[in-house]
Structure 1
Amino acid sequence: MAGPEAYDRGWSLSRRVAVRAALAALVVLAAMLAALVLELEDVRGDLDDQSLQTQARQVLRYMTIGAGGDPVFDPPAAIAALYADPAGNEAFALLDEAGTFLLGSAGVRAPLSELLPAEDSRTSADADPHGLGDLGRPFRGEAAGRPVTGTGFRVQVDGRPLILQVGQGNDHPDVLADSLIEEFLENAAWWVIGSFAVLIGVTLWTIRSALAPLRRLSASAARIGPATSGVRLGGGAEGGDLPREVAPLVAAIDGALDRLDGALETQRVFVADAAHELRTPIAALRARIEATLPRDQAARITPDFDRLSRLADQLLRLAEVDTLAVAPGDRADLAAVARDVLAELAPLAVQRGRSLALDGAERPVPVQGRAEPLARLLRNLVENALACIPEDGTVTVRLVPAPTGDAEGPELLVDDNGPGIPPDRRARIFERFWRADRRRGDGAGLGLAIVQRIADAHGAGITVEDAPEGGARFRLRFPPPGRG
């Protein structure tokens, strides 16, 4: 089955939603800024057109053709003052149809711009008495040595077709309005960008906080195992604030866990009952055979009964440890456990011509756990080692207390001076019913599977290494007593 790391290759749901929300916000931001710029540019253009057209009408109102055929500009004093100062903000130039300069405001001696309006841009006399069109020919020009923004119109003065160019300096109110619009664009853009940045930040925070119950639910699901099979996702605090859309999925998972627990419990009960019920028939059959067969024949069959009895016992133990759970308040002393187990197995070692040694058990070595399952774990490791080492070999149990500072937990080492375990087999020795040498009939391949299960229940990691004496070393690393 794929572990959690198998699902880390793709993007998480929160990242997908966050990226899409950020992209959508950026697209909307860009569209808003573009629309704002276009709208304000359009407003600015309208303001320029209206202002310059108003100025052109003002000039044409007081423009006539004199007796000699030359144009004359005769405005009232207030209007004349606007065009009498060469450094003023308003200027005009009157040209003939060919673009030759005829008349201008103070200081203007040439056309304001070489750009001339189109020949068909003049409005009919019925629409406008001066033939002034709605739109002129915009330009950036110069009047009396100062820059102006203006436009040109094809007009009629007393029936004579002419070209009128009007311009405004940088201090003109309409030009100031343009500057204000540009400044607004610059400032508004930063305000809009800042607002969207805050919006994106709030969106990301909202997504993360909304998915927090799912992360807690995932952590709770990761803790479900054989020892915590009664835990359900929807029954704890994690299930109280789940989104409504996820609730059916959680309910379906809890239902599947219920069915799975039922099947596992049925299997465990069957294995335990079968192992328990096998003990009495095996013992009775062995007694009958020993009573009826000659001693030499019975002796050849007795090892088979020993293996059957051992298999039944291991199946029963395996069914027990499958439901093993270690409570936070459980405490055990590895030193006391090791002393008891080695004292129990010492007669067996002497009978087989092997030796047992214990190192590091002078002081208590506390761990979070239960003494009886830990004794079973150590007993299986020592029994396996005794079966593998040669005659006169030694099995050494070493205890390594937790380092100062309680950053790491204690260790339990079981060393032997046997043939060792090849590296290519170390990954499989904890599998159920796996044996390196199936020609040997003294085991069913369940002892190390029981060891692995007990170690898992205690949060201990177990590894196989080469022992200093050349044999095998089983190393169990327990978590600190306060962090199990």
Structure 2
Amino acid sequence: MADRATPGGWSLARRVALRAVLAAVLVLGAILTVLVLELQDVRDDLDDQSLQAQARQIMRFLDMTGVVTGRPVFAPPPAVAALYGDPAGNQAFALVDGTGRLVLGSAGIDGPLADLGDMPAATAPGDPPGLPDLGIPFRTITDGGRSLTGASFAVMLGDRAMMLQVGQGPDHPDVLADSLIEEFLETAAWWVVGAFTVLIAVTLWTIRDGLAPLRRLSARAARIGPATSGVRLADGLKPADLPREVAPLVEAIDRALDRLDGALDHQRSFIADAAHELRTPIAALRARVEATLPADQARLLAPDFDRLARLAGQLLRLAEVDTLAIGADERADLAAIGRDVLADLAPLAVQRGRSLALDGAARPVTVRGRAEPLARLLRNLVENGLAHCPAGGTVTVRVQAPAHGAGAELLVEDDGPGIPQDRRDRIFERFWRADRRRGDGAGLGLAIVQRIADAHGAGVSVGDGPAGGACFRLRFPPVDRPVSTGRADGGPA
């Protein structure tokens, strides 16, 4: 029996879900990165505007009359003076000449706030006079331990080029804007993450729900077997039940099943017709031989005619059980079947010097099934046991009632040599015989057993019996459980 190929890769749902999640995470990361960068630009612009406003304010209240004498005067109103009069305040400025000497500064400032570097050229007087649009940014810590963020502006005071350095601490008047930006970043980030989490969850649910028709179709396809070959994937489905992309595949599979059913019907019809047509010529040939040949020679040919008749009968029964279908409301009593079969085979057992035993048939044991094919199944197993049981041996049939949610069981045990482990996977194949030198069988009896068991949803297996012989075990499903017919691997259950 060939090994079944098992899928080794990921499922389609997992692949699509993983790619969707990765795409969502990448998009989320890109959005958050762009958002943070944009808001940082906004905060930097606000800082620049705040520093520019601070520089314009200082320039507005500078008294130019003292420039000629060498030192201008900063004369702001009391409210503005309070901002620069505290050495530990959050605003500071320094007016530095071209040599790096402090000309004027706020309280606590005794030198430039930052290195001058190359002083840029001052712009033409404007509003306020001589203040350019952008300054040179810097960060510094003053001697008093204040952390300042500031900018240096090249200005013209009279005819002198100077550097106006303004700085603001972490609690400057525009800190509200920074707080709003930070709050927005924190809040918006969580909202964005939450929204993408919901998006991912909806995407995963959509994928699972979208693939649900495929799972249902797979379950329906798994139930299609020899006994239910007329079932089609599209039976009972509306066009809206199938995705548009899947409908052509379902239609193609159903057409392939139609073609397979046609081929199987032709094969079954051929086997049944051949078996039926063989019976009459075999019987006629046997009668003619017995009438023509002497009695002793006719007796020598009798086993050959018996084997031919048996083969024709088994072929006919095999064709019948290949199309066997069990209805949902059909019931059979294993105990009654066991009593009837053993009563019919008792003369054969006595003729061969063997014994038959029945255990567990005192009360009815009901299974979902049909009595006639189950009787044929049990008859084949008992005949197989009688054929391999030594003289004086016993073939025992055990009927076990359902227990603990499991179905009923039927066991057939014998005292024969048993079946080697390496042959147990092949004994249910058609025309397979362990010893082809024996001429008393065609290798179809156990194949018929397998087909009948499949039609009833029963798993059939072979193991070692209590006395060392073979033990065939059939496990029937519970009566209230739907029967699953057909096997995917084609081997014994």
Question: Smaller-chain TM-score range?
Answer: over 0.9
Residue number in structure 1 paired with 2:433: 435
* 1:32-52 deviation line (CA, Å, top 9, x unaligned): 111111111111111111110
Residue number in structure 2 paired with 1:260: 260
Mapped partners of 1:377, 1:314: distance in 2: 12
Mapped partners of 2:207, 2:379: distance in 1: 52
* 1:91-135 deviation line (CA, Å, top 9, x unaligned): 2111233433332123433433x343x425334326784253523
Q: Which runs of 5+ in 1 are unaligned?
A: none
* 1:234-269 deviation line (CA, Å, top 9, x unaligned): 122487511011101110100000011011011111
Q: Which runs of 5+ in 2 are unaligned?
A: 484-493
Structure-2 change in CA distance of 1:2 and 1:80 (3 Å): farther
1:53-132 aligned at under 5 Å gives the runs 53-63=52-62, 64=64, 65-112=66-113, 114-116=114-116, 118-125=117-124, 129-130=129-130, 132=132
Identify which of structures 1 and 2 has the higher relative contact order when contacts are C-alpha pairs closer than 8 Å and 6+ apart.
2
Structure-2 change in CA distance of 1:67 and 1:126 (3 Å): closer
Mapped partners of 1:51, 1:378: distance in 2: 99
**Aligned partners of 2:123 and 2:154 also within 8 Å:** no
Moved more, 124-133 or 365-374: 124-133
Residue number in structure 2 paired with 1:423: 421
State the 1:390 CA deviation. Answer: 1.5
Structure-2 change in CA distance of 1:115 and 1:198 (3 Å): farther
Residue number in structure 2 paired with 1:285: 285
**Aligned partners of 2:122 and 2:161 also within 8 Å:** no
The 3-state SS of whatever aligns with 2:162 is strand
Residue number in structure 1 paired with 2:11: 12
> How large is the Cα RMSD of the aligned pairs?
2.1
1:220-369 aligned at under 5 Å gives the runs 220-237=220-237, 240-369=240-369
Structure-2 change in CA distance of 1:98 and 1:367 (3 Å): farther
Structure-2 change in CA distance of 1:430 and 1:4 (3 Å): closer
Residue number in structure 1 paired with 2:410: 412
Residue number in structure 2 paired with 1:167: 167
For residue 430 of structure 1, what is the amino acid of its counterpart? F
Q: How many residues align?
A: 479
Residue number in structure 2 paired with 1:452: 450
Residue number in structure 1 paired with 2:488: none
Mapped partners of 2:368, 2:401: distance in 1: 13
Mapped partners of 1:135, 1:322: distance in 2: 94
- The alignment's TM-score, normalised by the length of structure 1, stands at 0.94
State the 1:325 CA deviation. Answer: 1.2
Residue number in structure 1 paired with 2:472: 474
Residue number in structure 2 paired with 1:39: 38
Mapped partners of 1:213, 1:140: distance in 2: 67
State the 1:278 CA deviation. Answer: 0.6
Mapped partners of 1:346, 1:472: distance in 2: 20
**Aligned partners of 1:95 and 1:163 also within 8 Å:** yes
Mapped partners of 2:10, 2:419: distance in 1: 42
Structure-2 change in CA distance of 1:313 and 1:193 (3 Å): same
**Aligned partners of 2:56 and 2:131 also within 8 Å:** no
**Aligned partners of 2:332 and 2:369 also within 8 Å:** yes
The 3-state SS of whatever aligns with 2:392 is coil
- The alignment's TM-score, normalised by the length of structure 2, stands at 0.92
Mapped partners of 1:3, 1:190: distance in 2: 52
Mapped partners of 2:288, 2:251: distance in 1: 56
Mapped partners of 2:86, 2:119: distance in 1: 33
The 3-state SS of whatever aligns with 2:70 is coil
- Does residue 396 (structure 1) correspond to residue 380 (structure 2)? The answer is no
The 3-state SS of whatever aligns with 2:203 is helix
Mapped partners of 2:12, 2:159: distance in 1: 76
**Aligned partners of 1:455 and 1:461 also within 8 Å:** yes
Mapped partners of 1:3, 1:18: distance in 2: 31
* 1:410-456 deviation line (CA, Å, top 9, x unaligned): 21111111111111111111110000010011110000000011111
Residue number in structure 1 paired with 2:21: 22
- Does residue 192 (structure 1) correspond to residue 200 (structure 2)? The answer is no
**Aligned partners of 2:67 and 2:158 also within 8 Å:** no
Residue number in structure 1 paired with 2:487: none
